[in-house]
């Protein structure tokens, strides 16, 4: 039982953006995927979601291969995108009903969970609202509620802290911790390592389409020659120096 990415090479129109990526996440584990813009994080996520077809390699989740059984695979995955995607003509309540229908959830249990999540993110009095009335942060909260409502094996979370207020960030971190405790798998991309480290212990560093190191932040700091008390921003400066050195 795990997410396995094996020798994944892929990108767009035949040009590889990621090259020979190998990752494994087991139940109860969370992995942070970090790197500069253009390193291949979004491309990796699009492959996991089945939006891009690999040029080489394979992706499986709980022994279900994405290419051979895409519907079964995708039913085990919930996704929180960096930019919220909502249907303008559907209310918040209808968005949640669509999530329940898509994942085949028990309606009574799902609504009990939904009300907990809605109250947590202060959306419980907005079930009849349309997306046009939501701020960017509120739209992001709708995506978070929908993803954690789905109760899937794998959560893919892309730059989730953008636009969230400090209370919502704290609530999201608590939900990620709860998911890990409940033996879910979490893959998260973020540049905000100060927040991410509260829920995630191991990271994979993508640079120029390849994974340079997988480890905790102490191991990553050591790999790039950073002091234990250096701010996380220095990691990105080190990656940028490597990029310029390889150019």
Q: Let me know: does 18 contact 11? Beta carbons within 8 Å.
A: yes
Q: Find the mean pLDDT for residues 66-80.
A: 96
Q: Let me know: does 72 contact 152? Beta carbons within 8 Å.
A: no
Can you read off the two tokens belonging to residue 146? 């929908």
Confidence grade of residue 45 (pLDDT, cut at 50, 70, 90):
very high
Report the pLDDT value the prediction gives residue 191, as an integer from 0 to 100.
84
Confidence grade of residue 247 (pLDDT, cut at 50, 70, 90):
very low
Can you read off the two tokens belonging to residue 166? 């400090």
Q: Let me know: does 212 contact 23? Beta carbons within 8 Å.
A: no
Across the chain, mean pLDDT equals 92
Architecture of domain 3-246: 3-Layer(aba) Sandwich (3.40)
- In angstroms, how far is CA 245 from the centroid of its own chain? 30
Report the pLDDT value the prediction gives residue 242, as an integer from 0 to 100.
65
Least confident of 42-51, 56-65, 104-113, 221-230: 221-230
Cα atoms found within 13 Å of the Cα of residue 212, Cβ hemisphere only: 21
pLDDT at 164 exceeding the cut of 70: yes
Give the number of other CB atoms < 10 A from CB of residue 82.
18
Beta bridge partners of 204: 33, 214
Q: Let me know: does 197 contact 42? Beta carbons within 8 Å.
A: no
The residue ranges of every structural domain in the chain are 3-246
Greater pLDDT, 61 or 227: 61
Rounded CA gap, 224 and 236, in Å? Answer: 10
Rounded CA gap, 102 and 209, in Å? Answer: 33
Would you list the DSSP string of 168-221?
HHHHHHHHHHHHHHTT-EEEEE-S-HHHHTTT--EEEEEETTEEEEEEEHHHHH
pLDDT at 189 exceeding the cut of 50: yes
């Amino acid at each position: 039982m795990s997410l396995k990415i094996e020798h994944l090479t892929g990108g767009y129109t035949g040009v590889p953006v990621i090259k020979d990526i190998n990752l494994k996440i087991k139940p109860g584990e969370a992995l942070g995927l970090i790197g500069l813009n253009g390193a291949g994080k979004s491309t990796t996520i699009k492959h996991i979601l089945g939006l891009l077809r690999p040029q080489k390699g394979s992706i499986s989740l709980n022994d279900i291969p994405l290419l051979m059984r895409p519907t079964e695979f995708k039913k085990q995955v919930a996704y929180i995108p960096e930019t919220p995607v909502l249907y303008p003509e559907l209310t918040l309540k209808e968005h949640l009903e669509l999530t329940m229908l898509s994942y085949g959830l028990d309606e009574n249990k799902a609504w009990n969970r939904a009300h907990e999540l809605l109250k947590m993110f202060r959306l419980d009095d907005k079930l009849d609202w349309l997306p046009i009335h939501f701020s960017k942060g509120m739209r992001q909260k709708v995506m978070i509620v929908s993803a954690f409502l789905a109760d899937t094996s794998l959560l893919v979370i892309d730059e989730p802290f953008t636009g969230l207020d400090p209370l919502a960030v704290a609530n999201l971190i608590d939900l990620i911790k709860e998911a890990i405790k409940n033996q879910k798998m979490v893959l998260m991309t973020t540049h905000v390592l100060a927040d991410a480290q509260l829920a995630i212990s191991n990271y994979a560093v993508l640079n120029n389409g390849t994974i340079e190191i997988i480890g905790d932040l102490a191991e990553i700091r050591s790999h790039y020659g950073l002091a234990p008390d250096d701010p996380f921003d220095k990691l990105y400066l080190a990656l940028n120096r490597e990029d310029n050195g390889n150019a």
